[in-house]
Amino acid sequence: MKTFAFVLLSAVMVMAMSCDVIDNPIENPDVPIDTTTKVKQNVLLEDYTGHTCGNCPDAADVAHQLETLYGSDRVIIVAVHAGPFATPQPPTYPTDFRTTVGNELDNTFKISRAGNPNGLVNRVTRNGKFIQSKDNWAPAVTAELAKTPTMGLKLDHTWNATTKAIDVTVTADYIAGGTEDYYVVVWLTESGIISDQTDYRYDPSHIEDYDFEHVLRASLNGTWGEQLSTTPVAAGQKITKQMSYTFPSGSTWNPSKCDLVAFVHRYGTEKNVVQVIKKKLAE
């Protein structure tokens, strides 16, 4: 019995010593500079947000910080406006940023029900968490970027400024073998949209000229995209898919602020994004 008490008391003492008081909170991130041209693993950071979500601009800044640190070609942000915080609230928040695709994603992944801001990082489950809160974005993105890529992606497109039509060709280069659950999706995003946003970091928190970046506008091929191959694909093979899209009539989207985001994900199984790339729509 005495041994028992001794063990417990020792445990208390050990714990009392195990605390980390931090004097200097800021760490300068050590980013290895990789100048090789080989294919790298990129990250799709889906930021689920809404214009009346007062904590969301802070999360958007975390995403932007990661994009700046690692490069916008490697950290690809898409802002998905969906859920109660994205509902237009005239007269103060009149803009409707919601999309059919965004609503379906939000309903499937149940993100706004879990609260906003929240996000998905390459749609991977990390430490038991699929939905990642903003404080998890940095560690999750860093971990994903360090992975060895299993696929390279190439996106070619033409843009007709008169008809507002886009033709896209996506080539998936299988570095490792793939399964039939690989689906390719191409999204259209727009940045530089000025409208109303709640931001709890400011007083008043109603920001009338907030700059909305990376807003998901549409999918060129549905919410879940299209299957790359109905049979498993061996390493070294390439598969090409083509798709077309025309801006909705009367759309005010600014093509010079639009990006095309192409990614391959494992639909209906592991969910994770295999690879992602981004390209400007028009100069």
Q: Which of residues 29-68 bind other proteins (CB under 8 A)?
A: 29-31, 54, 65
The residue among 251, 153, 181, 254 whose CA lies nearest residue 211 is 254
Q: Which of residues 219-278 bind other proteins (CB under 8 A)?
A: none
Please enumerate in sequence order all residues whose Cβ is within 8 A of that of 136, keeping only pairs 6 or more positions apart, or say none.
121, 126, 129
As a residue count, the chain comes to 283
- When binding is defined by CB under 8 A, the residue of 39, 143, 155, 193 that contacts other proteins is 143
Bridge partners, residue 172, by sequence: 153, 239
Give me the long-range contacts of 177-180 (CB less than 8 A, separation at least 24): 177/232, 177/233, 177/234, 177/235, 178/150, 178/151, 178/228, 178/229, 178/232, 178/233, 178/274, 179/232, 179/233, 179/266, 179/269, 180/227, 180/229, 180/230, 180/231, 180/232
Residue 68's SS3 state is helix
The residue among 215, 194, 195, 193 whose CA lies nearest residue 261 is 215
Residue 52's SS3 state is coil
Smallest distance from the beta carbon of 194 to other proteins, in angstroms? Answer: 16
Cβ nearer to other proteins, comparing 93 with 263: 93
Cβ nearer to other proteins, comparing 15 with 33: 15
Residue 113 binds other proteins (CB under 8 A) = yes
Residue 146 binds other proteins (CB under 8 A) = no
From the list 71-79, 106-114, 235-243, 254-262, the region that binds other proteins by CB under 8 A is: 106-114
Cβ nearer to other proteins, comparing 127 with 162: 127
- When binding is defined by CB under 8 A, the residue of 39, 64, 88, 89 that contacts other proteins is 89
Distance (Å, whole) CA 192 – CA 212: 6
Smallest distance from the beta carbon of 214 to other proteins, in angstroms? Answer: 20
- When binding is defined by CB under 8 A, the residue of 39, 71, 88, 136 that contacts other proteins is 136
Cβ nearer to other proteins, comparing 204 with 250: 204
From the list 87-95, 161-169, 250-258, 273-281, the region that binds other proteins by CB under 8 A is: 87-95
Could you list the residues that contact other proteins (CB under 8 A)? 1, 4-5, 8-9, 11-12, 15-16, 18-22, 24-27, 29-31, 54, 65, 69, 84, 89-92, 107, 109-110, 113-115, 127-131, 133-136, 138-139, 142-143, 199-206
